[in-house]
Amino acid sequence: MILAGDIGGTKTVLSILTGDANGSLTCVQEQTYPSRQYPEFDDILTAFLPAGVNIKSACFGVAGPVVNQRCQTTNLPWLLDAAALKIKLGTAKVKLLNDLEAMALGMLYLPEHDLVELNPNAETQEGNIAVIAAGTGLGEAILYWDGNKHHPMATEGGHSDFAAQNPRQDQLLAYLRKSYPDHVSYERILSGIGFSHLYDFLCEQDFAPPCTDVPDNNGDIDRNAVISGLGVSGEDRLCAEAVRLFVELYGAETGNLALKSLAIGGIFIGGGIGPKILPAMQDGNFIQAFKAKGRFLPLLDKIPVKLSLNPRTPLIGAINYFDL
């Protein structure tokens, strides 16, 4: 049996699969758990594993930096240790991957119908690929091309400094420094909570009257989902501008990642937010910001930029890790 997992700040997905003589895999059991309801990952693992199951190999994509096969999760109080997992699972084949590493691998296995091309001028090229994913946090990874195959490389690029590109963004940076005086990262904007930050910033700027349908920060309703939903539908002017600004910033940081990794092989966009705001991602604002890199516009103009619609991409990467 193969055990695979996608361990995130919001949810954890575990899957057990069995393979046949031809190498085809069949899912035996799969379950999703709300991560924050469990004190430790081991609690989920114990609840999921069937009695007497024989695990041949296990791979987990984890939302956090993996160092020496140990990971202190970024948005959870969990510590995962591959050595301890080998003992618990009774197998020497256990691998911890950064969640974006797992997602990057999974992208290589997606069919075209799971992908939406955002760049109308895209041309297929061989080379490095980069992956960016806004969700609970902001993840970034690279698929290095060695001339024959791609190799996943984890990064923590989502925590790099937010770089303002125009006067409005200058004001946004000054606003965010009130809450994060030591460091304003892209993740503070390009993640679920980012919609609230952008909405509140625009309120302070008197861009438009506050929306009566947007709850306050202390309510039980998902405020960020309300803002993004009203923004994509265009029902509220302030929410629409928050979404427009989110997409503009998302495009700019995706372009930064493309330059840093020289990702002429393409960019994949993962995470839960992109598909939810797909109309806004397709209206031209994202790709315009992606290409707005001065002298490097001709390079970026031809790079494929594909948005994944498949939420299981990190799990698919973890499932296929030991077959690489």
Q: CA-CA distance, 301 to 296, in Å (whole number)? A: 9
Environment class of residue 82 by beta-carbon count within 10 Å: exposed (0-12), middle (13-18) or buried (19+)? middle
**Is 6 known to sit in a ligand binding site?**
yes
Q: Are 58 and 49 in contact (CB under 8 A)?
A: no
Q: CA-CA distance, 236 to 218, in Å (whole number)? A: 21
Environment class of residue 262 by beta-carbon count within 10 Å: exposed (0-12), middle (13-18) or buried (19+)? middle
**Is 26 known to sit in a ligand binding site?**
no
277 alpha-carbon distance from chain centroid: 14
Report helix, strand or coil for 168: helix
**Is 7 known to sit in a ligand binding site?**
yes
**Is 287 known to sit in a ligand binding site?**
no
Q: Are 195 and 224 in contact (CB under 8 A)?
A: yes
**Is 269 known to sit in a ligand binding site?**
no
- Report which of 108, 61, 69, 90 is spatially closest to residue 1, judged by C-alpha positions: 90
**Is 132 known to sit in a ligand binding site?**
no
List binding-site positions for ATP: 5-10
List binding-site positions: 5-10
